[in-house]
Amino acid sequence: MLESFSHLIAPVGKGELASGLHGHGRMAEPEDLLQRINEFFLTAQSLSGKKVLITAGPTYEAIDPVRFIGNFSTGKMGTALATVFRDRGAKVTLVAGPMSAEPPSGIEVINVVSAQEMYDACMQHFSDCDIAVLAAAVADYRPDTTATQKIKKQHNEMNIQLTQTTDILKSLGELKRDNQILVGFALETTDEESNAKQKLISKKADFIVLNSLRDEGAGFGGNTNKITIFGKDRSSKAFERKSKAAVAADIVNTITAIP
């Protein structure tokens, strides 16, 4: 109701409450409140008229009707980005895998399950967007075949033949126009900077957002992240660990600073 009157809502935190219980109800972190207040007065409606495409969450690649290949992505980073872009006046389309995070109100949500479905949705909407941020953790491989019935346990071993999924970031990079901004994510465990820079070049992206599972408070599931943003102009900027809401604002601030 309040959001419908254009009020800015700071979501409550989750954790230990004064009562000793755990759950939603904690005051938002002071840095998040300050960030949102600054954004409201300094950047509100700065992206009015822009169309933004965002992907979030995991993809599930079916083995049979009850099993799948997936990952631990919750979609929190993607939904935080969608919230920031929405609050700055952009028209946001969120292509969401089967994530646990709740999408913000006031945006278009396209629910998908598999990498192929996410690819199809991105290909359909990319030509119409000004900015695309691919924050989803898309499966790199899918089973060659999907069993129509539940696979019964019969042997000590079972082999599953896998095939590469279509690379969404690379596909969009090959289609990208000069007036579009394309941003990808790189979650790495080794040779982080080298892998991120290589991805930036090979996928023809404008920015790559790197986070490493070796950094405390980064990666899937949590409410914080620690990133470094690499630009195609060979720029790089490392950020301290922050809440994902604050990280989303840093990402949007960086990519919209392009002249």
Active site residues: 71
Helices (H) and strands (E) in the chain, counts: 6, 16
Contact 95, 182 (CB under 8 A): no
Q: What's the rounded Cα separation, in Å, for the pair 200 and 221? A: 25
Residue 53, Ramachandran bin (φ over 0: left; ψ between -120 and 50: alpha; else beta): beta
Looking up tokens 């089973």 gives: 143
Contact 42, 213 (CB under 8 A): no
Instruction: Let me know if 222 is exposed, middle or buried by CB neighbors in 10 A (0-12, 13-18, 19+).
Output: middle
SS3 56: strand
Q: Tell me the HSE value of 167 on the side-chain side, using a 13 A CA sphere.
A: 13
Run of H or E residues at 196: helix 192-202
Q: What's the rounded Cα separation, in Å, for the pair 44 and 33? A: 15
Looking up tokens 């994530």 gives: 99
Contact 70, 109 (CB under 8 A): no
Q: What's the rounded Cα separation, in Å, for the pair 203 and 169? A: 6
